[in-house]
Structure formats: structure tokens, C-alpha cells
A and B are shown apart, each in its own frame.
Chain A
Amino acid sequence: MGVALTRSAQWTAAGHGAKTLEVTPLNEAIVKEIIMFVESFIYKYPQEANYVFVEPLEWKTNLDPSAFGSGYAVSGTTVKSEEADKNGEPLLYLSVPQIKIRSFGQLSRMLYIAKNMKLKEAQACIEANRNPVAKILGLDYNIISEKIGNSFVSNILDKITKDDDSESEIKMKIALQLKQLDLHLLNHSLKHISLEIRLNPGTVKNDIELLKQFSGKGKQTVLESIEYTSDYEFSNGCRAPPWRQIKGEICYVLVKPHDAETLCVTCSKEGVFLNGGKTDDEGQINYERKGEIYKDLVTLLKEKSAIFSENMSKQEIKFSEQPQKDQPNEAPKEEVAITHKASVTSRKSTQEKNRINLGRSQLTKRLEPSLNWRTSVSSKDRNTLRDTQVEKHGGKLEKSRSSVSPGRAQLIRKSVEKIEEIISDSSSESEEDEEQPDHRQEANADLPSEYWQIQKLVKYLKGGNQTATVIALCSMKDFNLAQETCQLAIRDVGGLEVLINLLETDEVKCKIGSLKILKEISHNPQIRRNIVDLGGLPVMVNILDSPHKSLKCLAAETIANVAKFRRARRVVRRHGGITKLVALLDCGKHSGEPAQSSLYETRDVEVARCGALALWSCSKSYANKEAIRKAGGIPLLARLLKTSHENMLIPVVGTLQECASEENYRAAIKAERIIENLVKNLNSENEQLQEHCAMAIYQCAEDEETRDLVRLHGGLKPLASLLNNTDNKERLAAVTGAIWKCSISKENVTKFREYKAIETLVGLLTDQPEEVLVNVVGALGECCQEHENRVIIRRCGGIQPLVNLLVGINQALLVNVTKAVGACAVEPESMMIIDRLDGVRLLWSLLKNPHPDVKASAAWALCPCIQNAKDAGEMVRSFVGGLELVVNLLKSDNKEVLASVCAVITNIAKDQENLAVITDHGVVPLLSKLANTNNDKLRRHLAETISRCCMWGRNRVAFGEHKAVAPLVRYLKSNDTNVHRATAQALYQLSEDADNCVTMHENGAVKLLLDMVGSPDEELQEAAAGCISNIRRLALAIEKARYS
């Protein structure tokens, strides 16, 4: 199944992390087949089912442990199978959510248990285990099983007799089974693929069959001969060998027109094109595409042979008569009602269509034989045509459904398609139409004169020699290529194919001309996709190797335009484009080249610039960033950054900025001393350059050392002064971002205060787009960590706009705003303002925000608010349902939320009345449940909360009852002194209860606490000592009781 999984299954494109299977019918079918195989395995091959895999198949399951019944040991969140291997390890081991399975028997059983979640589980398993065969059989057997495919049984027998222990025999059998499954899956997916394609084997076959009828000697026939290259027909109707079928090729045909050489044609699902021809010696076909793709055989032949198109138009009249003749013969054959209906509808539409066809051939033949006829039909005709298309489409759907069951339906299908294929040229066209209906229609509705002129030029491109081609290219360049009409016109008249084709020639001038046009029209997103679909990118990537600098430049610039979407970027990488583009950056190396340069040449700097431009586009994909780094791009970019050409700097900084999202880039940027130059360019005149530099600093300043570097190179002042220009919002967002990240360092904040940046930032709190606001507020949040700055913000009236922002919905913004407001609330004076503006209520309501980050941040902000508010207890109580909300947040599974909520509760609990309320809401059991954590931050705040909550009623006893004490003792083993202090205090509070003392003693608290007594932290000392004394006192009391 390895081959089938890697080749046929449709994986989602590479992104971060693991790939997943796309949800397509084909994938579902494959997974279902695999499930069937596995499920039946235990019955069909009981012996093999016990075989233990070399490595377990492991994945994240959604199965509940409770679903496992007899044969399994279920305990809490883990399940072990009773079945075990030689070493006693269970064959199935589930520890929520990870599941490990090591035999087919267990796999079968698991699927049985999974019931209606089978499909999900199987998919998860396949996604997590990309090479299951290797895991099952071990790596060496994986290779062997590949071999089986080539030299079948003999090898296996050899293998078995050679090492005749039973295990390897079983392994071999399994390998064979898997191989068979693989073949089966491949066949299955082929069946699927062949159903989806545009030209299917059926239509092609009938096309050819019909052309055969009208071929032969004599002038009336359309062709001299037409025949297949291969007589063998696969069950799916294809004649191409299976490895070509994967590429969508159906069959190969040799066609001899009256007025041309024999043509060797490939029919594939994409269309029909000339291939490299049959090589004489071995009868092998050169599969490579040589001509452009036509939508079907008839169109291709019309283009290649004049006599064919002439005779064809005569024959069309005859064709249209034929179906009626066939009708009586057909009737008895029709066994299935559905197919009957299908054939009727399609026949009807055929007739209608033929009428139009006739009209067309008379109408347009004189004007322009090679024209797409629909362009000349009036809109009224189009409407009727569309109706017939819809009708026909319905018929076709049914037909393809019937074709799933081969054999019986075959006969009928043929007769149906026989009618259909006559008009097959327009039928495939109509499908294309459905794909992109919007723009074709637009083009048809009102064809501008440019359309016709471009069409003519494309004709000269196709049929001209080098000189004519260059003239046509130059003339085409004079059109307004920035205009969508022209861009689409070039595409619609088949110009893209020709332009890309020209790139594959040896003519430098043609290549230059073609690239100049492609470069312009590739600004259009649709054209980009078309270029990629037509395989233009690999050709351009190859041109990057050319010795001609101007060619390199143009190719790189075009790639820069095309690689604006993910698939294109992937193609560039796959064809080694990144390495070549990086090589373009290396311009200084060849400085010793001959002074004289050829006519069409440009300077090295220009080459590097274009390379950087293309890399900039490419660097938007994660894998490409990695590829650029591996190709050694960073030192080169760093060197280019030292130049002073703005045109060069923008793409270079753009690339760096894009890549700086990756950790190892940031390290490299630091190592290459790039920051210095980024800072230098902040002072440039160019706004775009400033923007990208600021953006790069924003990305890189996550790192403390980098922040210091920015300061040391004097970057803070230009950043602060750029704040004053607020017209360019993109730049403002980048600059404020850089300021935000830089202000994480205290020294930087001091500088910013010197430059009066804080006042300016406060001014930016209103009337700015969200991207800017997020950064501005983030920066203020960092600045607020210092008293002086908090005063400045209050004085400038920054608190009001900050509190106003608490009602937003942007997650990132809310996180920053809550942080800033929280920081301000540390100042009692500011707190008064916040309270007056009802900021606490707003913060509190953010605890209901769905994003955990916002929740946590809001909760942290509430802590200083409660601390500093006057009459805090009353204020908290005034929020209806507020306390219950907070207590319930303890059920969250986000550690940060839990820690922050604990901190809030600590503050709330300072008020006795509120403590009583939250105790009623069940805070004690919820806190106790959290005790088993390893997260030091959570431990600290949890311990503080517990010690605070002990102050009420019988909470001390309750914590003991809910088993919170023993885990707390373990906190003392942590490495964090803050945790120690909080824990010691909590234990001190808890030790007021005798039972808790016993638990602590049992868990070895005394020794740990004794160590704490020696701590330099006085609070910790005191708490630890207090706790020990409580424990000791109890011991004494017991002794006393015993002796008296």
C-alpha cells in the first residue's frame, strides 16, 4: 500500500506540521478499502494476524477507553490488551489519546470496537504512519516487497527456503498480502481517476472509432489512416501503460492525414497533444509533449491538416444524420432504464447541437477558420446553447454513473457515446466553460478590438520564424498588458501556451520577448495559475541557469510575479529554483568578468535584484524559507544589504523580513550582523524600505540580544521619529510593531521615553487600523511596566482610549489591551480612572471570551485592579455572577488561564465575604483537582490561592479531604523558589489541621521543609518553620496523650 498511499492518495499540501489526507471521494474510497482489508484479515489469515509488527503503529485516537471490553485491561485512561508478545508487552496499548497497535489481529479488533468511527481512526492511523509497511515489516522487508513487484514469486520462494524459520515466512506472506492490497488500491484509484477526467477513455475511444470509419484512401475521407499504437486495452479503457496512466494519459494514436506526415498523438485527460513520436528501433514512444494541448483529437487534427478540417465540415452534415439511422438498432440493446434515458437526452441535445454546429460552420468558416466559434455566435444562440449544455450535462452524469459497473453497460454506453463524440469538441469546451464561467463570458459579451489583434499576433507567433516571432512579440508588448482584457485575451487565444513554448527554444531573442510579456501579464492572478498549469515554471527555473544575464533577470522577475500563490512556490522549490535564485544573489563574485558585454545584457546588480525579488515572493512559504537558508542565502542577502540601491534593498529586506518569522533565521540574522544595516536603512527616504526594515526588526526583536543591538546601532531614534508620520498605515504598523518588540527591554523603554515616543504612542490610540492598534497597545503595555511611564500615560490621557479598546473583538488586540490596562492599574491613581470608566467590569466580561489567551490576559489584568481598587470587595460583589464565572474558569484546561484565574482568586479571597461566596461555589474541590500539575507557574499561584482560601471555615479540612496536601508537598521539590515560598505558606496554613499534618509527615514534608528553613528568603523561612512547628506540636501532643 506504500505506492498507492504516496502516489494516489491526495495529501494536503505541505504546511506546518504533519500532512493530512484531504477529504475527497478518492481518499475515502482508499481508506475504506484498507479498512476492509484489515477487518477481514483476522478471519482470512488467523496465523498472520498474530504476527507482531516491528514497530507499533501509533496515532492519536478518539476512542474512549471505556469502549474496550473483554480481552482488555482498562484502568482509567489506559487500556492494555491481554494479548501480549514474547516479552510480555501488550499488543495494544492505549493511553489517551495515543494508541499503539502491534498486530493485525489487534488492528481488526480495534476497528470493530471503533464501529462508526472506523473511517476516522483508519485515516488518523494512515496520516500518522506515512510508511506503514516499513513499520509492520521492518525497513529491509519494505525493500523486499518493492522487489516482489518486479520479479515475482521466484524471489520470494528463494527467500523463504533460504531462511526457513516460520517468522520470516509469515513476514513474507504478509508482505505479499500488502503488495496485493497495494495493487488493488492502485487499480481502484485509477478507476476513480478515470471517472473524473475531462476526456475519458470512452470518449477518446469513440472519437477514434468514428474517425476510423471515415478514414481511408480517396478524397472524400477525412484521414488516410488512424490507429492505436497498442492493441491491449486495460479494463478501464486506457491503452497507455499504467505508469503513464497515473499522469492521466489514455492512449497513443498514429494519425496519417492526407496532407501531412504521420502524427503521433497522445490522448490524455487534459487533452490531446503531439508527443515525441515513435522511435524507430524499439517501437517505443517518446512520451514527451512536443506540441500544444488541444481539447480533443478533432481540434488537433483540424489545426494540423487543412484537408481534414475541410472534409470534416462536410462530414458534419452526414454525422448529424447518423444518430437517427442508428436509433432503431439501438432500442433492443437498451436494458437499463437509466441509460436509456441518458441516451435519449443526449441524443436530443446532440441534434440541437448539430444544428448549431451547422450554422457555425457556414457562418464562420469564411471569416476565420481557426476561430473559436462561440465568439461569433450571438448571445441569443448562446442561451439556447447553454440550455442544451445543461441538459447534456445531466445526461452525462448518469452516463458516467452507469460506467462504474463495467461489462453489461458497456454496450449501451458505446451507443450513447457514439452520438456524443461527434460534437465532442464542443463538449469538452463546455466543461472548461463551467470551470471558469465568469471571465469567458465577460470576454464574449463585449470583445474589444485588442482581442482580435492579439489573436492575430498569436497566430504569427505560432506560425512564424524567429524574425516574425520577434516582431509579433514586440508588437504584443505595445498593448496595455496591465489591462485585464489584454491579459485574458492572450490566454484565451492560446497565447500562453505559445509564449511558454518559446521559452523552450534556443532563440535568446524570442525568449527575452516572451518573458517580457509573461512578466507583465503574470500580474494577473488568473494568468499566474494558467502559467503554472501549463508547466511554465520549470522552464523559467531552467532559464535561471542561462549565461545571459538579461534572460536570468526576466525569468526571475516573472517567477517573482507567478510565485504569489502556494502551489507555484512549491513548484519553484521542487524544480530546484530556490538554489538557482540564491545563486543569482551572488553577484560580486564575477566582478572580474570581461568589460565588453553583449547587446542585450544588464548589470550584475540587476541580476541580484531580480533574484531577490523572486526569493521575496518565494519566501512566503515555510519550506522555501528553509530552502533559502540551506542554499546559503542569508550571507548573500546580508552582503546585498550593504549596498545602497533602494531597488535592491527593498526585495532583500522584504525577503529577510518574511523569513525572520523562523527561529533559525533570527539567529542567522544576528550572526550575520544584519541588524546594523536594517537600522541604517530605517533612515532611508523610501517608505517601503523603511516599512520592511521596521517589519524585519519587529520579527527579530523577539530576541533580547537583538533588541540591544537595535539600541546600540541607534535604531530607536529613527523608529520613534517615524511614529510622527501616520499617513502610510502599513509602515506605521511595522514601525509600531518594531517599537513594541524593542520596548520589551527596559533600556530601550528609557530611550523611547527620552525620544518622547510614549506620548506619541498614546496619540495613536485612536483612529488607527487594528494592525497599528495591536502594536501601539503592545508597546504601551511594555512601557507601563515602569512607574514613570505609567505616569506619562495617565497624564497624556491614555487610559480612557485604552479602556475603550476593551470592547473590541480582535484577539491579539484584546490580549495587548488587557495587559496594558492591567499594568496601568498598578498605579492607584490610574486605577481610580479605570474604575470610573467601568474598566473592571469590561475586563471581567472578557473572562467570557472564547480565546484562552484573552481570558488569561484579562484575568492577569484583574489582579492589580482588585488589589488597588478602593473597596475592592464591594466592587467584586457588585458584578452579578462574576464570582461564579471565575470559579468555573478553574475547569479550563489551559495552564495559563488556570494560573491567572488562581491569581485572581487569591486577590478576591482577601475579602472574607467573597471568600465565603467562592467557597460556596465549590472552589476547594476545583483547586484540589488542579494540585497534580508540573507547571511551576500554575503551582505557585495555586499554592498561593490555597493558602488564601484556608482562611475560611473548614476549608483547611476540605483541602485535606480532597487530597490536595500530598501533591503540594511534592511542590517543595521544584526548582523555583517562588513555588517554594507559596507552597510553604500553603502548607503552614494547612498544617493547622491535624490530619493534614499526618499527610504531610507521611509524604516526607518535614525533611524538605527543614531545608527550606535555611533559605535566605525570610517569608519562606518563616512559613517553613511555622509548618514544622505545627507538625512537631502535633507529635508532642500525641506523645503526651500516649503517656498520660
Chain B
Amino acid sequence: MNRKKLQKLTDSLTKNCKHFSKFEVKCLINLFYNLVGEVTERQGVIIGLDRNAFRNILHMTFGMTDDMIMDRVFRGFDKDNDGCISVTEWVYGLSVFLRGTLEEKMKYCFEVFDLNGDSFISKEEMFHMLKNSLLKQPSEEDPDEGIKDLVEITLKKMDHDHDGKLSFADYEQAVREETLLLEAFGPCLPDPKSQSEFEAQVFKDPNEFNEV
């Protein structure tokens, strides 16, 4: 990509993304192209990170392990649903992922947890997401009993309108009462440690791009 185009892209992204400075946007764009590798730009071919590459990043950089959640995070980033994260999606996604306000993060997390995208987190979805969260007690007759119970506990805690599923309103209210419930069904945000490591690594050496 030529310099001019890059400059333009940086400017437009910086304008639309309030959580990053121009320098930071530039770093992220650089990182993106480093990750994608040298692909010659051709018409019709989308440049971007595919599912596996992205999952790899989530796993290696942010220490995520849950396959399902990672898939959902990918979906969260991939706004146009083309199976590939473009540079714009990358910067926007990271903006919420790293620096999002509570509101933005709630929205993002809810989308991640809402597996089928019907704007509700249903019991089944919860069960699905929590099914590996308990050590199997071999003594128990029904190994899923604990999970089911956990789902009930969660519903009791979060389902304010008692309709047996979580709407965004339910979720939002619960999170506002107790921030710990933001990632109630699995870690889908970076933990503070890997986040600061990532930022330190990516946004280093400001002198090199001293244009801001």
C-alpha cells in the first residue's frame, strides 16, 4: 500500500475511533499488515485475517482458550460477516476490546454470548457456554446437574423480568449492579495483564512516528 493511501486510512480511522490516538491507530495498522503478511493487493481479493489467524492471535496474545468463545469474538470483530477481518474491523474491534467503555463492552459481550444472535441469551446458550466450567464430579449421578444448577443460579441473579432468558436489558442491569458479571459466561475480553503487555508491545517507540 502506498504512503498516501495509508495516511488517508489512518486519518479516517482516527477520526472515527475515539479510543485511539493517531499514533496508536498507525501502530495497529502496521501490526495488522505485519500479521496479514505481504499479500499483493488485487481487486476482488479481501485482505484480512481469517478465522484461524485471528483465533491464533486471541490464543497466543490474550491467552483465550475456549474455542466457542473465540469463535464468537471473531464474529464480534467481523462486522460484515465475510469471514475475514479487514483493517477497519481490526481497529474498530480492538478499540472496544482494549479501551471500550462499560457500555461498549456490555454490548460487545452480549453479542458474544448471544450465540444465535436472537438478542436473547437463552438457557440453552448458557448451558452451552458453561458446560465445561465445572470439574466433573464422578460421584454425581448426572454430571450435568451442576451445570444446570449453575444456569439456574445465573438466571436467578440476572433475569430480572423472569422470562427465563436474558435480554440485553436484563444483562445490562445485572452488570451495572455487579461489574464482575460483565464476562459472566466466559472470558471474552483481555485480562488486564495481557492487555497491558499487548499495548506496551504494540504502541512502543513513539519517536519513530513522530508526526502527531
Contacts and interface: CB of A to CB of B under 8 A. Distances in A.
Interface in B12-71: 19
A468 B134 contact: yes
Contacts, number: 80
Given A508-B192, A509-B183, A369 B153 contact: no
B133 A468 contact: yes
A467 B133 contact: yes
Interface string B134-172: 110111000000100110011011000000000000000
Nearest to A600: B179
B180 A460 contact: no
A915 to B, nearest CB: 84
A467 B126 CA distance: 11
B94 interface: no
Nearest to B185: A467
A471 B191 contact: no
Contacts of A506: 193
B192 A598 contact: yes
Interface in A459-487: 459-460, 463-468, 470-475, 477-478
Given A456-B149, A513-B180, A599-B179, A471 B102 contact: no
A474 B180 contact: yes
Nearest to A366: B141
B9 interface: no
Contacts of A471: 130, 150, 153-154, 157, 181, 184
Contacts of A600: 179-180
B79 interface: no
A309 interface: yes
B133 A464 contact: yes
Nearest to B138: A306
Contacts of B183: 467, 470, 509
Given A472-B153, A474-B157, A464 B182 contact: no
A475 B156 contact: yes
Contacts of A513: 180
A383 interface: no
A978 to B, nearest CB: 72
Interface string A242-279: 00000000000000000100000000000000000000
B170 to A, nearest CB: 14
Contacts of B187: 466-467
A334 B133 CA distance: 56
Interface residues of B, number: 34
Contact of B134 (A457, A460, A473): A460
A460 B136 CA distance: 11
Contacts of A465: 132-134
B153 A475 contact: yes
B176 interface: no
Contacts of B191: 508
B157 A468 contact: no
Contacts of A509: 180, 183
A276 B159 CA distance: 42
Interface SS, B side: helix
B140 to A, nearest CB: 9
Contact of A548 (B105, B157, B192): B192
B192 A369 contact: no
Contact of A474 (B135, B138, B178, B192): B178
Contacts of B134: 460, 463-465, 468
A449 interface: no
B186 interface: yes
B99 interface: yes
Given A306-B138, A369-B139, A596-B99, A467 B186 contact: yes
Given A468-B133, A478-B157, A599-B102, A460 B184 contact: no
Nearest to B133: A468
Contacts of A475: 153-154, 156-157
A237 B135 CA distance: 38
Nearest to B136: A463
Which of B180, B186, B193: most chain A CB closer than 10 A?
B180
A460 B102 contact: no
Contacts of B99: 596
A512 B135 CA distance: 22
Contacts of A468: 130, 133-134, 150
Interface in A478-524: 478, 506, 508-509, 512-513
A470 B129 CA distance: 14
A581 B191 CA distance: 26
A467 B184 contact: yes
Nearest to B189: A599
A376 B186 CA distance: 36
Contacts of A464: 133-135, 150
A807 B133 CA distance: 71
Contacts of B149: 456, 460
Interface string B181-211: 1111111000111010000000000000000
Contacts of B135: 463-464
B180 A512 contact: yes
A513 B183 CA distance: 13
Nearest to B146: A460
Contact of B137 (A463, A470, A599): A463
A477 B99 CA distance: 28
B150 A460 contact: yes
Contacts of A259: 138
Contacts of A477: 178
A473 B180 contact: yes
A369 B140 CA distance: 9
Contact of B139 (A309, A474, A596): A309
A508 B156 CA distance: 24
Nearest to B193: A506
A551 to B, nearest CB: 10
B125 to A, nearest CB: 14
A259 B136 CA distance: 13
Nearest to B157: A475
A467 B146 CA distance: 14
Nearest to B182: A599
Contacts of A599: 102, 105, 179, 182
A467 B130 contact: yes
Contacts of A508: 191-192
Contacts of A547: 192
A512 B191 CA distance: 14
Contacts of B186: 467
B29 to A, nearest CB: 21
Interface in B89-112: 99, 102, 105
A207 to B, nearest CB: 23
A831 to B, nearest CB: 70
A466 B63 CA distance: 13
Interface string A433-475: 0000000000000000000000011011001111110111111
Contact of A470 (B19, B139, B180, B193): B180
Interface string A852-864: 0000000000000
A471 B154 CA distance: 7
Nearest to A463: B135
B137 to A, nearest CB: 7
A555 to B, nearest CB: 16
Interface in A282-320: 306, 309-310
Which of B139, B154, B156, B187: most chain A CB closer than 10 A?
B139
Nearest to B147: A468
Contacts of A470: 180-181, 183-184
25 contacts: A369-B139, A460-B150, A463-B134, A463-B137, A464-B133, A464-B134, A465-B132, A465-B134, A467-B133, A467-B186, A467-B187, A468-B130, A470-B181, A470-B183, A470-B184, A471-B154, A473-B180, A475-B154, A475-B156, A475-B157, A508-B191, A599-B102, A599-B105, A599-B179, A600-B180
Given A460-B134, A470-B184, 13 more contacts: A456-B149, A464-B150, A467-B185, A467-B186, A468-B133, A468-B134, A471-B130, A471-B153, A506-B193, A509-B180, A599-B102, A599-B179, A600-B179
Q: Which 5 A-B pairs have the closest CB atoms?
A: A468-B133, A463-B135, A306-B138, A465-B133, A467-B133
